Chains A and B, each alone.
Chain A
Amino acid sequence: KQEVTQIPAALSVPEGENLVLNCSFTDSAIYNLQWFRQDPGKGLTSLLLIQSSQREQTSGRLNASLDKSSGRSTLYIAASQPGDSATYLCAVHSGNTPLVFGKGTRLSVIA
């Protein structure tokens, strides 16, 4: 059974810092991995999707990496801003199973 773990559970940083969020999964036989952002009252927004054959994806200040063999992914946020404050969720897609989510990392960027 696939399990997804996210570390840390919460993170507080001053504005402008670069930061890394971590995601690990137990079964490396995945099709893809997604990072989502969750804002209160607004549901989830997909940030980046990495296919199993890819090593990384970039979108603006966000960069996600994938090391499938070790069961790890990182989300790197450059030059953090207060608007980046949200909960970041990692989810893994394995075959015909539904997305399996981690519990998320709650990020606070302090101005």
Chain B
Amino acid sequence: GAGVSQSPSNKVTEKGKDVELRCDPISGHTALYWYRQRLGQGLEFLIYFQGNSAPDKSGLPSDRFSAERTGESVSTLTIQRTQQEDSAVYLCASSFRRTVDETQYFGPGTRLLVL
């Protein structure tokens, strides 16, 4: 079956512009995660969705970052007024449910470059 897909695969934008990144999780997976990976750094948790529960936004670095998810399907991560430090690979992952033994399946990521 299809894995997690993300679009676009690459995005170059100018400082100050808004960007939207999309994630299509594996069908039937109720949990969806967004991470950020800056050059030479580990993955940083951004936000997590579980079914219809309120999302865990504890990792969002500023109010310029927001994310939505429609039901248990597509999620969009929006970055407003992009800054150069937002340049990173943004990774999305999904799992069947959020329990301690559930493996997360990752998409290929969106490489964002803010000029």
Partner of B45, one of A31, A89, A99: A99
B101 touches A32 (CB 8 A): yes
A44 beta carbon closer than 8 Å to chain B: yes
Does B4 sit at the interface, judged by CB under 8 A? Answer: yes
User: How many residues of A sit at the interface, in one of the four size bands?
Assistant: 20 to 34
Closest to A41 in B: B108
Contacts of B109 in A (CB 8 A): 41, 43
The verdict on A51 contacting chain B, using a C-beta distance below 8 Å, is: yes
Interface assignment of A49: CB less than 8 Å from any CB of chain B: yes
How many residues on the B side are at the interface (Cβ–Cβ under 8 A)? 23
> In whole Å, how far is A37's beta carbon from the nearest beta carbon of chain B?
10
Known: A41-B108, A91-B43, A99-B33. 20 other contacts (CB 8 A): A32-B100, A32-B101, A36-B106, A43-B91, A43-B107, A46-B104, A51-B101, A89-B42, A93-B100, A98-B33, A98-B45, A98-B56, A98-B59, A99-B43, A99-B45, A101-B42, A101-B43, A102-B42, A103-B40, A104-B42
State the A residues within 8 Å of B (CB).
4, 31-32, 34, 36, 41-46, 49, 51, 89, 91, 93, 98-104
A sample of 14 inter-chain contacts (CB < 8 A) reads A31-B100, A31-B101, A41-B108, A43-B4, A44-B106, A45-B106, A89-B43, A98-B33, A98-B48, A99-B45, A101-B43, A102-B42, A103-B40, A103-B41
